[in-house]
Structure 1
Amino acid sequence: MTSPRGVGEWAEGEEPVDTIGAELELEDVPDQAPGEEPPPRYATLDDFVQEFLLEMLWTDVEVSSKTWCPEWWRHPAAIVRLEALHRSFEHLRLDPATGISVWLRDHADYHMGLLTDPNGIFKGCAIKKGHDTERDRVIPSTPAPAELFAADD
């Protein structure tokens, strides 16, 4: 099993890059009209998750009480939270003062805590055994009587 590269750990011939700083640098943003936001750093949710989130917020889910599904994209509740993380990251990375701190504290720590909770979204899934296809992931509900919430005429 390989772990994410830390600062200073690079493949032969590869230039070391401060990935956090690279995400926050505005110098490489193309010229834009005043008031126009630069393009997103990560074009898709999958790019954000694979290239940034999982490496930067890495936790050894095989030996801790945390859980993760390698097929995270099969969980609608995970997609919503991960999309919220992506959108908030793209917005807050533009704040050179406290943006990344706010993102970590208010967004990443909160949502990743819920995503990796052993009784949460990925319950039953595991790195080694993959996505749990046997578990019912829908909360049962009986429709309310029509007259209970009828629109006023």
Structure 2
Amino acid sequence: MIFASLVEFYDDYLSPIVRRRVDGVHLAWCPDWWTHPEAIARLATLWRAFEYLRHDAALGMSHWWLQHADPHLAALMHPLTGPFALCSGPEGHTAELGPLPGNPSPPEMWDHPAFSIHAAEKAAAQEREGAEVPEQNAG
């Protein structure tokens, strides 16, 4: 790996390379980006994808920019819907955005292998049990 940590990737690569007019109207960014869980998740994803794709000398970096960096940065920097929407650009950080709202869902709704590792394990066990047919005596 070129960068040993997310902070190193951000400080030594992403921040110096990505230069934008952050005015809070057209683009938003928070100088305390590391206090926003979504920013940490997206930037960590960018770092890991960068480290993987840099090994493809032909198209790796193009793929990284077009398929990873551009969409993640657009989502992060969106001045109305991004995680920094209430931050005032380089001047400051605001932690007023709360988590997405959500009411509790009925647990049985998620009892399907597509939504739960436990349901997938249960389905696999049932499939194995069904496949274990006792041998019949040939004599």
TM above 0.5, yes or no, is yes
Q: How many aligned positions are there?
A: 113
- Asked if residue 78 in structure 1 is aligned to residue 45 in structure 2, the reply is no
Q: Which amino acid aligns with 2:89?
A: I
* Offset at residue 63 of structure 1 (A): 7.7
Task: Name the residue aligned to 1:44.
Answer: 5
Q: Which amino acid aligns with 1:127?
A: G
Q: Percent identity?
A: 37
Greater gyration radius: 2
8 Å CA contact retained: 2:77, 2:84: yes
* Offset at residue 143 of structure 1 (A): 1.6
* Offset at residue 148 of structure 1 (A): 5.6
* Offset at residue 95 of structure 1 (A): 1.1
Task: Name the residue aligned to 1:136.
Answer: 97
* Offset at residue 59 of structure 1 (A): 0.8
* Offset at residue 62 of structure 1 (A): 2.9
8 Å CA contact retained: 1:70, 1:126: no
* Offset at residue 67 of structure 1 (A): 0.4
Gaps of 5+ in 1: 1-39
2:67 to 78, 87, 106: 106
Give the number of the structure whose residues are more often helix, by fraction: 2
Task: Name the residue aligned to 1:56.
Answer: 17
